[in-house]
Structure formats: C-alpha cells, structure tokens
C-alpha cells in the first residue's frame, strides 16, 4: 500500500505537507521542521499535532511518498 500524504501545492506539487496517514489514522501536520531537496527527492521533517515526528520523502521520479516515524 502506498504512503498517503496530503500536501499544499501552489506553483509545484508537494510544496508543504499538511497531513499523513499513519497506521490507519489521519494525522494533521502542525509544523514543518525542515525541508530540503535531495537527489532522492523532496525531503521534509515534520511534527504532527499529537507530537509525532516524521521524515517524509517525495520521489518525483516514481510519484510516491515514503514515510518514516522518527
């Protein structure tokens, strides 16, 4: 099953993640702690409203997200 990430997209896709689905629960992102562009794709470190910290990577080549609980 692919990772599910909702994001804000103004000029281009995946500018700012706004929510993730983790273990069947939709978690709203409270704050983006870090954002960068890497050879893998767009990378974010975010905090959800319940305090969980996630690492997110969006691969433009494969058009998919990877989510890791940190």
Query: Average pLDDT over the chain, rounded to whole?
Result: 91
Q: Is residue 26 very low, low, confident or very high in pLDDT (cuts 50, 70, 90)? A: very high
Question: Quick one: tokens of 52?
Answer: 């969980």
Q: CA-CA distance, 46 to 49, in Å (whole number)?
A: 10
In the prediction, which pLDDT does 52 show?
97
Domain count within the chain: 1
In the prediction, which pLDDT does 1 show?
55
> Domain of 47?
4-69
Residue 55 has pLDDT above 90, yes or no: yes
Environment class of 67 (CB within 10 Å of its CB; exposed 0-12, middle 13-18, buried 19+): middle
**pTM for the predicted model, two decimal places:** 0.88
- The average pLDDT across 17-31 equals 96
């Amino acid at each position: 099953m692919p990772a599910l990430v909702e994001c804000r997209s103004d000029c281009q896709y995946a500018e700012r993640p706004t929510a993730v689905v983790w273990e069947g629960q939709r978690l709203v992102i409270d704050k983006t702690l870090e954002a960068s562009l890497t050879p893998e794709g767009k990378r974010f470190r975010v905090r959800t409203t319940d305090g969980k910290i996630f690492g997110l990577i969006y691969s433009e080549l494969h058009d998919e997200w990877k989510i890791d609980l940190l």
